[in-house]
Amino acid sequence: MATIAVLGTLDTKGDEHAFVADQIRLRGHEVLLIDVGTGSDPGVRPGVSRFEVAEAGGIDLQPILDRRDRGECVAAMTRAAPILLARLVEKGTIEGVISLGGGGGTAIATAAMRVLPIGFPKVMVSTLASGNTAHYVGTRDIVMIPSIVDVSGLNSVSRTIFTRAAGAISGMVDSKVDISDARPIIAASMFGNTTDLVSMAREQLEAAGYEVLVFHATGTGGRTMEALIESGMVAGVLDVTTTEWADELVGGVLAAGSDRLDAMTRAAVPAVIAPGCLDMVNFGERETVPAEFEGRAIYQHNPQVTLVRTSAEECDELGRILARKANANGAPTAILIPARAISLISAPGEVFHDPAADAELFKAIRGEAEVEVQELEVEINSEEFANACVRKLLELMEEGGSHPQA
């Protein structure tokens, strides 16, 4: 029998959360009701009061309630609820969490869910689930279910949705995952233009006893990979497609944020880094490319994705960024440079072939890097480069003590 947290604003949505709690109990689980409401008294008796939630975050809630500023109240709970929920999970008090909400409730509950480990059951029934949920889900596996009608009372539609949601969280908790035979994990970044490289490297690394998780470098993919690395689940990093930094610097649509490449440092994980696809910045349809780039080489990857070639000046800055990020990692780290092509379309004869821009990139890396730099006269998708990346990563992980147990 597991305990499932039912977290919500019990002042305005007490009956609805109580209904979900009853449905969970019918499925044989215990319930911990957590109140994050800040209006009138809760409609049902919580197991954790709003004051206890706030206290977990070091917040004195009463003065905030007295000011009757709803925005301030929601912000306070958004800060405190993640701390409380993380503590409950760490102690093993709860094995899943579910919430129902509109705008404020969704903001509070998903903020709390985003700090929980990947794989921990999380369900959010929300009036906002049918729109852009990226800022609610973040890089976590939060299941969002559209409430269809407002979370305001119990009716034939809401009872149906809430019952199914209770069944979903109960089923997730009941589903035990067997990872007893799990191998050490390597996180790898890939793009369409580096697929061959990563496929060859993955095959070799798996043969060496590792599990390779590949993340598509589309902004969300990079952020998700960073979150996994920071979680401590990763033994090594094969970050050979660092293209998201080109979008971050130049203003493309697939940026992953200025902390891309920081997780390896925070988790002290051995890493091999390459300037894969730093020749390209991503935009949408052809007509969305800003006019300032019209003089550059432009390649329409598909009807929805248009690529713009990075300039020599941008490559110089990208090289410095890559080197500084690598320098910060206290774990064994190396940068490998495929000097003949950093993507499929930057090879000789291809549309993004620009030796002058690449030279600035490589010179900046060599000039700024304090870690080992290997420059190979090969293309990024060559077997030679894949072999070199694998050899170096295995060497660095051995040095750092991250290797399969005999």
Contact by Cβ (8 Å): 19, 162:
yes
CB 326 within 8 A of CB 269: no
Q: Do domains 3-174 and 185-400 have the same CATH topology?
A: yes
pLDDT of residue 403: 56
Burial of 339 (0-12, 13-18, 19+ CB in 10 A): middle
Fold that domain 185-400 belongs to in CATH? Rossmann fold (3.40.50)
Q: For residue 87, which of 209, 184, 5 has the smallest C-alpha distance?
A: 5
pLDDT at 404: 54
- Per the CB < 8 A criterion, the answer to whether 166 and 385 are in contact is no
Bridge partner list, 335: 273, 373
CA distance linking residue 152 with residue 294, whole number of Å: 52
Q: List the chain domain ranges.
A: 3-174, 185-400
The pLDDT profile of the chain, 406 residues, written as one tens digit per residue, is: 899 999 999 999 999 999 999 999 999 999 999 999 998 999 899 999 999 999 999 999 999 998 989 899 999 999 999 999 999 999 999 999 999 999 999 999 999 999 998 889 999 999 999 888 988 998 899 999 999 999 999 999 999 999 999 999 999 999 988 776 789 999 999 999 999 999 999 999 999 999 999 999 999 999 999 999 998 889 999 999 999 999 999 999 999 999 999 999 999 999 999 999 999 999 999 999 999 999 999 999 899 999 999 999 999 999 999 999 999 999 999 999 999 999 999 999 999 999 999 999 999 999 999 999 999 999 999 999 999 999 999 999 999 776 554 3
280-283 vs 305-309, strand pairing mode: antiparallel
pTM: 0.80
Pick from 162, 165, 214: nearest CA to 185: 214
CA gap 372, 376 in Å, rounded: 13
What pLDDT shows up at residue 268?
A: 96
Are 373 and 184 spatial neighbours (Cβ–Cβ below 8 Å)?
A: no
The CATH architecture one would assign to domain 3-174 is: 3-Layer(aba) Sandwich (3.40)
